[in-house]
Amino acid sequence: MNFPDHLKYTKDHIWIKPDAGETIIGITFFAQLELGDIAYVEVKTAGKHLEKGQVFGTIEAVNSVSDMHLPVSGVVKELNPLLVNDPGLINKDPYETGWIIRLIPDKPQNIEGLLSADTYEKFVNG
């Protein structure tokens, strides 16, 4: 399994990457494996301020629909426009072209408190 070192993770299988004052957020390789083929992604929170832990969107696979929760508080800037026509990008490349949202975090320093790649890998592998 793939656990890029430059990302931070949550126990909800969300990854986050700082990017020029914003953050990019998606689901992990492990999460997309567990979900199966991604059929649809819905994010109706663009432009809204959400607190850490609030649902920012849903992801639908062939047999399930799952809520996605923010790892840090901030303003949801946008949904990845590529996912509108090709949500399967999450399965193909969850850490690059398959990112889900951009967020403007309230306190970027809070990202450092999330799980490292090593800690997340240990969590996933039990």
pLDDT digits (tens, 9 = 90+) for 14-41: 999 998 889 999 999 999 999 999 999 9
pLDDT score of 4 more than 90: yes
Instruction: Quote the pLDDT of residue 56.
Output: 97
Give CB contacts under 8 A, 24+ apart, made by 52-60.
Answer: 52/110, 56/25, 56/101, 56/103, 57/100, 57/101, 59/27, 59/35, 59/87, 59/90, 59/100
Residue 108: pLDDT band with limits 50, 70, 90: confident
User: For the residues 45-65, what does the mean pLDDT come to?
Assistant: 95
What global pTM score does this model have? 0.94
Residue ranges per structural domain of the chain: 27-125
Query: Domain 27-125 - what CATH class?
Result: mainly beta
**Mean pLDDT, the chain, as a whole number?**
95
Q: Which of 104, 106, 119 is nearest to 28 (CA)?
A: 119
